Chain A
Amino acid sequence: MYNPTQTENRLKILLYAILILYSIVTFIPFAWALSASFKPLDEIVRGGLNFIPQHFTWDNYQKIFTTSPLFGRWLLNSAFVAVCVMGLNLIFNSMAGYALARIKFPGNALLFSLVLAVLMIPGQVTLIPSFLILKKLGWLNTYQGLIVPTGINATFIFMMRQFFLSFPQELEEAAALDGLGRWETFWKIVMPLAKPALAAQAIFVFMSAWNSFLMPLMILSEPEMFTLPLGLNTFKGQYISYWNYIMAASMVFTLPALGVYAFFNRYFISGVTFTGTKG
């Protein structure tokens, strides 16, 4: 006897079971770090994986904000840089991705191969030459030195291209018949439709700018210019890890990224699809 509702219910239970189990797996390390940020150091390093702090304390948070008078400044620097990088990437990567997917121009295929080639060279060998270029431009210890080189990301040019490839072409054709040029079509028709892809891109560009460590480490030597990951580095020791400060600082560090994610998440709402494509 085949009973569609029964199978559907079973499927739903299975689905919930998988999601809940996997959520536990992803949640535990985060929850543990959160709880550790409220523990004194000796409780963390004593070992054991208790989630409820025995000696609950705000000290770690207090200490990271008070021992470093610059902590607020680092937070601001990081936010400023990450937002600028995100803005530049959203515009430029999407433009380039769109052109690579849709516009026929000489050199299109070559440029796309170059974009892929960029991804294949590990950053460890281009680090020193990039540093020398920034030095030549006089951009060491500046915001533009942090922002401009990361204003483009080959990965997301690639991603946007793939998204635009799977886009329905009818709307653009209609727009062309209405006499809209490429530029207007892109801004008025294509970009609004690409919201989910832009949201995904925004999340990841923000996060990579927010987490970036090695390049800022090389080019920033003024503590006032530090971004948060460099600032956090000053809570570590050479031989000994002060996990209590590291955990508290990494919570302060994680929450904005999580906030950005939660904000852009609204663009992934299934079922609300653009109308023009039906049929």
Chain B
Amino acid sequence: MLVKIKKSTKLQETLSGYLFVAPAVLILATFTFAPILYSIFLSFHKVRILGEIQYRFVEFKNFARIWSDERFWIALKNTAEYVLLVVPIQTALALVLAALLNAKIKGRKLFRVLLFLPTVTSSAVLVLIFIWIYNSNGLLNNFLAFLHLPTYNWLGDPNVALKSIAIMNIWSTAPFFMVIYLAALQDIPESLYEAARLDGASAIDQFFTITLPLLRPVTLFAVVVGIIGTFQLFDQSYIFSGGSGGPNNSTLTLVLLIYQYAFKNLEMGYASALALILALVILISTLIQRRFFQTEKL
């Protein structure tokens, strides 16, 4: 009798599970899984896609070509550096800002809107403004010169160009994660803090002993999505380098490389192979970070 009930609830559980994911699976299967499968198919072919479509099976030649493609390695190095620079800073910044905005202070509504502005300002406007801020005679250099600090050719110098893009990107995506942290902070019961205060814990103690551990799932989300997003950096390096990835390949990113092959040369087979390798790189990095953070489950 008891076994029977258990069995039927288990079945019910399974059914409701499928019901809940059905719409998502249907849409993902049609518009995302199918194109990805097609890309996997393409990655083993030499394709002529414009005009009459022609596929020629080339085994692993597209992947072998990646191995000897020096620009792939440069792009990989640039992208990895960029990820390592941006993800920790933007996650930490988002967390700190969210914690500050969650404190009971006057005018926090206004601050919340102000801090969110970079996310809504259109990227065309941002790029224009940053070109002005970053140019040799621009705002930033004048400010640095005033403080007697060294000035840089922010967008022209290959040693700095990618870092300039990184700064701009941190500035414009931190508010995204800030909002998510802000939402997560609402779910932490006030009673926990009250108890801690009674024990004499300071605000900073509370942050590290209560807030941070409870935000773990959301931090994992922020880091993984951050890694994925930064590995797929495209817009800014495209705009700042006019699509070439220069000077001297210093702003060449993997997605920019993929884009060059997919749309400029219409080499869809090779572009797909590159995309799969990029996905693999992202997968490995998320696994590494999981080790690193000792998160119990993903």
Contacts and interface: CB of A to CB of B under 8 A. Distances in A.
Q: Do chains A and B touch in the complex (CB under 8 A)?
A: yes
Contacts of A197: 183-184, 187
Interface stretch (B84-92, B98-106, B243-251): B98-106
Contacts of A237: none
B258 interface: yes
A204 B176 CA distance: 8
B124 A105 contact: no
A129 B258 contact: no
A231 to B, nearest CB: 13
B186 interface: yes
Nearest to B279: A120
B27 A148 contact: yes
B262 interface: yes
Contacts of A32: 129
A221 interface: no
Interface string B107-136: 001011111111111101110111010000
The dominant DSSP class at the A interface is helix
Contacts of A130: 31, 35
Interface stretch (A60-68, A76-84, A270-278): A270-278
Nearest to A106: B14
| Interface size, B (range) | 35 or more
Contacts, number: 267
Contact of A154 (B28, B179, B255): B28
A216 interface: no
Nearest to A160: B221
B148 to A, nearest CB: 21
A125 interface: yes
A273 B188 contact: yes
A108 B17 contact: yes
B278 interface: yes
Interface string A96-136: 10111001111010010011111111111111111001000
A33 B76 CA distance: 35
A133 B30 contact: yes
Interface string B233-267: 01000000000000000000011001100110000
Nearest to B37: A129
A124 B255 CA distance: 8
Residue in B125, B126, B180, B220 with the greatest tally of chain A CB atoms within 10 Å: B125
Residue in B17, B21, B180, B254 with the greatest tally of chain A CB atoms within 10 Å: B21
A182 B121 contact: no
Contacts of A100: 21
The dominant DSSP class at the B interface is helix
Interface in A1-50: 8, 11-12, 15-16, 18-19, 22-23, 25-27, 29-30, 32-33, 47, 49
A243 interface: yes
B217 A95 contact: no
B38 interface: yes
Residue in A106, A124, A247 with the greatest tally of chain B CB atoms within 10 Å: A124
B218 A250 contact: no
A99 B275 contact: no
B228 interface: yes
A29 B275 contact: no
B198 to A, nearest CB: 14
B124 A250 contact: yes
A225 to B, nearest CB: 19
B189 interface: yes
Residue in A12, A91, A99, A272 with the greatest tally of chain B CB atoms within 10 Å: A99
Interface residues of A, number: 98
A203 interface: yes
B72 interface: no
A143 interface: no
Contact of B35 (A19, A33, A114, A133): A133
Contacts of A253: 122
Contact of A23 (B24, B36, B115): B115
B167 to A, nearest CB: 11
A27 B110 CA distance: 11
Given A26-B117, A129-B39, A271-B104, A246 B220 contact: no
Given A49-B132, A129-B38, 15 more contacts: A26-B115, A26-B175, A95-B20, A99-B21, A121-B39, A122-B275, A124-B275, A125-B262, A159-B180, A159-B225, A181-B12, A254-B121, A265-B113, A269-B186, A273-B186
- Identify the 7 closest CB pairs spanning chains A and B, nearest first: A105-B17, A129-B35, A99-B20, A96-B24, A126-B35, A196-B183, A196-B186
Interface of A: 8, 11-12, 15-16, 18-19, 22-23, 25-27, 29-30, 32-33, 47, 49, 91-93, 95-96, 98-100, 103-106, 108, 111, 114-130, 133, 148-149, 151-152, 154-155, 157-159, 162-163, 165-167, 181-183, 186, 196-197, 199-200, 203-204, 207, 211, 241, 243, 246-247, 250, 253-254, 257-258, 261-262, 265, 267-273, 277-279
30 contacts: A26-B114, A26-B118, A30-B121, A96-B20, A96-B21, A98-B20, A99-B20, A103-B16, A104-B13, A105-B14, A116-B224, A121-B36, A122-B278, A124-B234, A124-B259, A124-B263, A125-B272, A126-B35, A126-B36, A129-B35, A152-B28, A157-B24, A158-B221, A163-B187, A166-B216, A166-B218, A196-B186, A200-B183, A250-B125, A268-B102
